């Protein structure tokens, strides 16, 4: 018999992910701050609950995917949070946070979960709206391996690349590796598109060549075509990527390392935010890179004059 699953968070990715569980025959309960955002799921067969605590009272597993570490804290530690459910009135045995959050918070929630009788996994994901819609997300998991194995059938509905990374917080650290790589990749992708256009090439034809070669990446295959169409709608919000880079840079400081590519990407994305683009998709970096490339030429020409 499949476990009952409580779901918290129906944003760009969460709604599709919860929908896959409904389609797979899981009994799914949903909580979001605004019930209206869950209407599609409720119409598909999910049930509404009014708090994380109420989800914990009626579901074997509760999964969260929200925006910021402060949201995660509220979900688990707030007055009506998941861990506030009294043990003899609680069905939940396992809690899984799939938000990209702080490794230290994941470790703290793991320990708090042990005190509350709930096993906790940190399991952030990568793959954006495309991966969420297609059920092909990469899922990176920290916590206890026996708990990971128990919930593997749930993860298999949501993703195609599922890896146990180690103790509590390891999933979040792995996601920081992921975001660090993406940060520099996004700069390269945008610069390449600027170069292609300036050279008078057909950017779509260029993409066909380079996407299948050594320069190939998820961002190049999925986001570069959106840039060429002028589509900057979010598959992943700029503001959330900035949050992720800030977490990664904080972790770098604690570990005593300097990653210049990550630092540069953070500065470039600040230009997107300052121009009002925080709710756009991460591919909106193209506009900042394009603008800077022209500003640099103007400065150089001015110096020569």
Q: Which of 211, 212, 179, 183 is nearest to 289 (CA)?
A: 183
Active-site position among 91, 112, 175, 198: 175
CA distance 268 to 273: 9
> Domain spans of the chain?
5-167, 174-304
Taking each helix axis as running N to C, give the angle between helix 103-116 and helix 170-198, from 0 to 180 degrees, rounded to the nearest 10.
150
**C-beta of residue 82 within 8 angstroms of C-beta of residue 56:** yes
Report pLDDT digits (tens) over 87-124.
Answer: 888 999 999 999 999 999 999 999 999 998 999 999 99
Kindly report, residue by residue over 61-76, the tens digit of the pLDDT.
Answer: 999 999 999 999 999 9
Instruction: Give the global pTM.
Output: 0.93
- For residues 238 and 269, is the Cβ–Cβ distance under 8 A? yes
CATH 3.30.390.10 assigned to 5-167: no
**For the domain with range 174-304, which CATH number is right: 1.10.1040.10, 1.10.3720.10, 3.30.420.10, 3.90.950.20?**
1.10.1040.10
Q: Is there a contact between 77 and 105 (Cβ–Cβ < 8 Å)?
A: no
pLDDT tens per residue, range 258-267: 999 999 999 9
User: Alpha-carbon distance 169 to 109, whole Å?
Assistant: 10
Distance in angstroms (rounded) separating the CA atoms of residues 249 and 205: 36
Residue 137: how many CB atoms within 10 A of its CB?
Answer: 27
pLDDT at 297 over 70: no
174-304 shares the fold of 5-167: no
**Position 305 pLDDT exceeds 70:** no
pLDDT of res. 1: 84
175 is catalytic: yes
Asked if 142 contacts 122 with a C-beta cutoff of 8 angstroms, the reply is: yes
Q: Answer yes or no: is pLDDT of 302 > 60.
A: no
Which residues lie below 8 Å from residue 243, measured CB to CB, with a gap of 6+? Answer: 67, 68, 100
HEC readout, 16-79: HHHHHHHHCCCCEEEECCCHHHHHHHHHHCCEECCCHHHHHHHCCEEEECCCCHHHHHHHHHCC
* pLDDT above 90: percentage of residues in the chain: 90
| pLDDT value for 303 | 56
Q: What kind and span of H or E run contains 142? A: strand 137-142
């Amino acid at each position: 018999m499949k476990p009952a699953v409580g779901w918290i968070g129906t944003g760009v990715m969460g709604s599709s992910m919860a929908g896959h569980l409904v389609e797979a025959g899981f009994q799914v309960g949903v909580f979001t701050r605004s019930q209206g955002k869950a209407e599609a799921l409720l119409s598909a067969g999910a049930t509404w609950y009014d708090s994380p605590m109420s989800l914990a009272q009626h579901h074997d597993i509760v999964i969260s995917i929200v925006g910021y570490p402060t949201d995660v804290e509220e979900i688990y530690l707030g007055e009506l949070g998941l861990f506030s459910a009294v043990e003899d009135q609680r069905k939940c045995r396992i809690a899984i946070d799939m938000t990209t959050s702080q490794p230290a918070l994941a470790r703290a929630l793991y320990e708090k979960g042990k005190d509350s009788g709930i096993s906790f996994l940190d399991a952030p994901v990568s793959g954006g709206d495309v991966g969420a819609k297609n059920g092909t997300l990469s899922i990176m998991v920290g916590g206890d391996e026996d708990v990971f194995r128990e919930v593997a059938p749930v993860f298999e509905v949501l993703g195609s690349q599922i890896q146990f990374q180690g103790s509590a917080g390891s999933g979040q650290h792995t996601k920081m590796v992921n975001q660090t790589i993406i940060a520099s990749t996004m700069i390269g992708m945008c610069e390449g598109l600027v170069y292609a256009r300036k050279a008078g090439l057909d950017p779509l034809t260029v993409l066909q060549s380079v996407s299948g070669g050594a320069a190939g990446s998820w961002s190049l295959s999925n986001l570069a075509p959106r840039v060429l169409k002028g589509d900057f709608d979010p598959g992943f919000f700029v503001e959330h990527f900035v949050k992720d880079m800030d977490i990664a840079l904080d972790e770098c400081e604690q570990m005593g390392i300097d990653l210049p590519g990550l630092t540069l990407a953070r500065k470039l994305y600040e230009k997107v935010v300052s121009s009002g683009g925080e709710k756009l998709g991460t591919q909106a970096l193209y506009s900042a890179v394009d603008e800077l490339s022209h500003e640099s030429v103007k400065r150089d020409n001015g110096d020569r004059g």
